[in-house]
Each structure stands twice: as structure tokens, then as C-alpha cells.
Amino acid sequence: MMIKNIIFDMGRVLVEFYPEDFLTKEGITDKEERELLLREIFHHEDWTNMDAGIMSEQEMYDEAVKRIPEHLHQTAHNLIFDWNDPIIPVKGMEDFVRECKEKGYGIYLLSNASVAQPVYWLRIPGHQYFDGTVVSALEKIMKPDIRIYQILLDRYGLKAEECLFIDDVARNIKGAEKAGIRGYLFDGDVDKLRKYINDL
């Protein structure tokens, strides 16, 4: 079956998302403080709960400050609320999305992200080419749960066999495949992805 629609993940596909870099941006150089902030913010279950729509950014912050020393509270606030400022696009991806749009593909987003996503989404280069988005926190279902792929298909009237899903996480690709959607595991190489699409 011919691919007519391309579904993109967001973090590490459209935009860079490397918590270690966010810590550097905040000027955190102490090894123990970096490990603490990684553990208590980005790697904490509360971050997943934000993406699941269980917690808001404010609720996560209120809990996080209970686990870290006071002199890091402002840093925690910045990491939770402003990790996306500035947004750093994955190099070459905006042009690739535009090329796909010009070729006539339907362009969609399927992302595990918090309720803040619709706000910063408008600052992501290439967002204007998308025909629709599905965000985990707004649905209260996360990839790789098969139901979130089905939500996207149903909402936009797409046939699974006509879709290609691009993500950087293998389990999310497997979730898509269970929903009947072909998957592509993105490794940061846009030229390789472009060749894959052209060879379809």
C-alpha cells in the first residue's frame, strides 16, 4: 500500500531534547547537582506524569522543590517551564517536512508531551506544515499504547497502512506497528530518512 501520510514524533525528531544540554544552559557544572537535577526532574516519574496529563508543570515544580535544595529551586523552575526556550530544531528537519508537504504527503504529529505543548508548538520551525497533532497529555494516553495511534487515525480519517511513523524510540515504533502503521526509527540522520522516503 502506498504511503500517503507521514507522522512525526517531536523530541529528538523535530526538536533537540537533551536534558544534559539544558543543565549546561542553566550554568549547572557541578557533577552532583547535575545528577540530582537529572534524577529529580527529567528522569523522575513526575515528568512522565506530565506527559500523561496527570500533573501540570506547576504541580511538578511544587513536588520537585521538596526533593532539591533551595538554591536550585529557580533552576528547577527554568528546567520545567522553560526547557523549550530557546527551541533548537533538529538540523535539516524543517526543510525535510516542507519537502514532504510539497510532495503531497499528509503531515501529522504524535508526541508524548505535556499540556504546554500547544503553546511552544507555534515556535517550532515547520509547525505550519502539519495537518494535525495528537499530544499525549491532552489525550491522557501515551505512546506506545496502541490507543493513541488509533486516536490519530480516527481523528483525521487516516488508514493505518497508508501511514509512516517516525520516532527515535524503538518501543514507540513497535506500538505503531501494532496499530498497523509502518515505523521508521530515526537516528538523527535526515539525509538517510530522506532516502528512505524517496525509495518508498
Which domains are seen in the chain, by residue range?
A: 5-16+88-198 (3.40.50.1000), 19-82 (no CATH)
Is residue 59 predicted with pLDDT exceeding 90?
yes
Q: What is the pLDDT of residues 83-128, one digit of tens each?
A: 999 999 999 999 999 999 999 999 999 999 999 999 999 999 999 9
Q: What is the pLDDT of residues 143-158, one digit of tens each?
A: 999 999 999 999 999 9
> Quick one: what percent of the chain has pLDDT higher than 70?
100
**Mapped to the 3 state alphabet, what secondary structure does the chain carry?**
CCCCEEEECCECCCECCCHHHHHHHCCCCCHHHHHHHHHHHHCCHHHHHHHCCCCCHHHHHHHHCCCCCHHHHHHHHHHHHHCCCCCCECCCHHHHHHHHHHCCCEEEEEECCCCCHHHHHHHCCCHHHCCEEEEHHHHCCCCCCHHHHHHHHHHHCCCHHHEEEEECCHHHHHHHHHCCCEEEECCCCHHHHHHHHHCC
What pTM did the predictor assign? Answer: 0.96
pLDDT at 195: 97
pLDDT at 200: 87
